[in-house]
Amino acid sequence: MDEIIKKISNALSLIVMFCFSAVIYFNYKGFVYENGKIYLREQTAVAAEYNGIATVLPADIAINASQKYAVGSAKAPLTLFEYSSLTCPHCADFHLDTMPLIEHEYVATGLLRVVFVNYPLDKNAMKAALLSECMTYDNYAPFINKLFYEQRSWWMDKGSERLLRYAAEFGVDYDEAISCLKDKKKATDIATTRYEAFKQLDIKGTPAFLVVGPDGNEIVYGVVTYSSFKEYLDSRLARLQH
């Protein structure tokens, strides 16, 4: 019994030491713990007010995310930027279940343009994002869908073999894929886009949805139901008609 108590005591001591070290590390890196979540100390909110499920942002925010893979008419009255990490389960659920409904009702009818923006939260998400940037326009969306659909199969892989196989299915052979993973310019572009979104849009997690139109910039944080998103988009479109 004494031996068991000793082992339990040692285990608890290790846990306490680990937690203490983690606090020191995150503080050193500029993070703070608040309300069960970890935030960057320098991160400040840019929200001005709320509009239903959305937060109204300052009108002068400049969005520099690439639109080369945008889906929908360039003349659409609203543009939706979908900020997602390819290893984020909530992002996968929204992208696979809700986004097709949005595309059917709003993109196909010319009311909305959608831009998928990689917001990688870990190493594997960055690798997947790099490979996505090597896709042709026609293969980009199917590749993103594949990554989300197969997410549980690869998101914790230590290597890149599975991601390389997925890339090959969409026309990017092994040598090209390896080159993509080593492309420093692409990595810098993705990281810069993420950092700018973090600073300007106050994105603390994924997914997040920026909706831009002549009436201003608004952002929806987190997963919302299709009915809620539909109500919001309809209200934005109605506002533009007045």
Which CATH number does the domain housing residue 185 bear? 3.40.30.10
Examine the domain organization and report whether 33 and 151 are in the same domain.
no
Omega into 207 within 30° of 0, i.e. cis?
Answer: yes
Q: List C-alpha distances in Å: 185 to 106, 134, 151, 172, 191.
A: 34, 12, 26, 18, 10
**78 beta partners:** 112
Of 25 and 6, more confident: 6
Host domain of residue 34: 2-39
Examine the domain organization and report whether 15 and 135 are in the same domain.
no
Tell me how many domains the chain contains.
2
- Percent of the chain at pLDDT > 70 equals 79
pLDDT tens, position by position, 162-189 = 999 999 999 999 999 999 999 999 999 9
Examine the domain organization and report whether 28 and 94 are in the same domain.
no
Task: Kindly tell me if the per-residue pLDDT of 195 is higher than 80.
Answer: yes
Examine the domain organization and report whether 113 and 180 are in the same domain.
yes
Instruction: Report residue 83: phi and psi, to 5°.
Output: -90, 115
Examine the domain organization and report whether 26 and 78 are in the same domain.
no
Examine the domain organization and report whether 152 and 208 are in the same domain.
yes
pTM for this structure?
Answer: 0.79
Task: Kindly tell me if the per-residue pLDDT of 114 is higher than 50.
Answer: yes
